[in-house]
Amino acid sequence: MKENIILLDGKSLTLPQLIAVAEDKQKVQICPGAIPAIENSRAYVDRLVEEDKVVYGITTGFGEFSKVAISKSESATLQKNLLTSHACGVGRHLSADVVRAAMLLRINALARGFSGIRLSTLQTMVEMLNRGLVSAVPEKGSLGASGDLVPLAHMFLPLIGLGEAYVGGEIMHGKDAMAAIGLDPITLSSKEGLALINGTQVMTAIGAITIHRAINLLKLADVAAALTMEALNGITAAFTPKLHLLRPHTGQMNAAANMLRLLEDSRRTTAPNEIRVQDAYSLRCIPQIHGASKDAVNYVLDKVLTEINSVTDNPLILADEEMAISCGNFHGQPMALAFDFLGIAVSEIANVSERRIERLVNPQLSGLPPFLTEKGGLCSGFMIAQYTAAALVSENKVLAHPASVDSIPSSANQEDHVSMGTIAARKADEILQNAKNVIAIELICAAQGIDYHCPDKHLGRGTQPAYDKIRQHCPAIDNDQELYPLFESVVAIIDSGEILDAVEGAVGALK
């Protein structure tokens, strides 16, 4: 076995492996131990077709058309028609990392051996992923039940020589894309079209990548808050461990511990009554606010880890029991609720970060120069940086409205309750992007505030490397200038992991 190849058996895929395939293009292979179940399942489907058994999606039409019998001779046409008729998405194409993750998840689900797909078809899908074909998948059109029918149909059109795909960043017809990577399109056999598109893999791919980034962003929110504590001479007594043991929510305790580790040895924090009796909530309640979001993210993570190793096809093929059962594993409700929760949790992190930005730029609250400039009047300083943060937070409040509370019946009311899980996942990702920009603005403003009344710095063990990394890419400003390049620079080092790596190199892994 070659090194660094991820073996897929439908049961043991991890989030780091998913990220490695999605972002780093790591290669995959069907686990040899999974092959007998795949072949056994396929053999049972072939038997059902030969015996003209009435089984949904195998010898019948789909949805409302499940009442229509399909002959053996029409089986291949049925599967092709399924993909072509369902490929009706709209909007921008999903990013390449999301498409790779979705392809990975679909392969992993089919490798479990309960879907009746041919091994040769599955191996062609593996080669498409490994050789760099990225299907052109419109982002909108999924109701989240029966899974992600529309985007998954687009994803697999190139497999049959249709649709569009990117190879080396260039978009081309699906047949040409397959030829460019040295593969021939295939002809689908019975059940295979349904096996390809009936599942939650697109919503789960978007959500899995978002949860991975959210975990790191919540750590960076603690770093930003710690820098703001130093810029505002915050009181660290509120982070005393014994206080949090009296209300032992895991996230709260972890956030409080993070703050103390980050601020260890800092000479810029204070004790009660040294400057003020107590801090405002946005500082004093960092453990409670950040911690609640950490707990929510961990809940969602647990749901994602379950889903990436689940079988979400329909019907499911229980070959050993000689049963093909139409069930509802494709329904996205477990993920829809989770991703709505994720969006709300990340939105709250941006909310409180914007309040800390306001405290940094407002001289009535900070003790710092108005809007972090000593040339007020002539210069506006960071006045409008807070505007941008406020706009992003306000947008997040709209996006945080749950998608999962909505349902529109489809397929002549056969599919009379749908999850909207893919919309929930896409909204969570957009909220995360907005929150990341808010955190970047707080990091910049906190560093600017530190410079004004802390010439010798004396920062904490964790905040000093964060400050140094920010200043390496984003110098302090004396006169008004375009701020957006500074924001972009800090967002870039958030995305690259440079800040978090520097901080955790100094204090160990944050929680």
Q: What is the 3-state secondary structure (H, E, C) of 343-369?
A: HHHHHHHHHHHHHHHHHHHCHHHHCCC
Burial 58-80, CB ≥16 within 10 A → b, else e: bbbbbbeebeeebeeeebeebbb
3-class secondary structure for 107-132? HHHHCCCCCCCCHHHHHHHHHHHHCC
Apex 145 CA angle, 86 and 151, nearest 5: 40
Distance between CA atoms of residues 371 and 364, nearest Å:
11
Q: How many residues does the chain have?
A: 511
Closest by Cα among 235, 244, 230, 153 to 192: 153
Residue 95 DSSP one-character state:
P
Q: Is 299 a catalytic residue?
A: no
What is the token pair recorded at 203? Answer: 């919503």
User: Which residue carries 């302090």 as its tokens?
Assistant: 476
| Tokens encoding 309 | 């190793």
**Residue 377 three-state SS:** coil
Q: Which of 56, 166, 387, 467 is catalytic?
A: 56
Cα separation, 166 vs 173, in Å, equals 9
Of the candidates 330, 62, 96, the one whose C-alpha atom is nearest the C-alpha of residue 204 is 330
Question: 450-475: string of b/e by CB count within 10 Å (b at 16+)?
Answer: bbbebeebebbbbbbbbbebbeeebe
Phi, psi dihedral angles at 167 (to 5 degrees): -130, 120
CB 259 within 8 A of CB 210: no
Inter-axis angle of helices 201-231 and 421-453, to 10 degrees? 20
Q: How far apart are CA 483 and CA 242, in angstroms?
A: 42
Which residues are tagged catalytic? Answer: 56
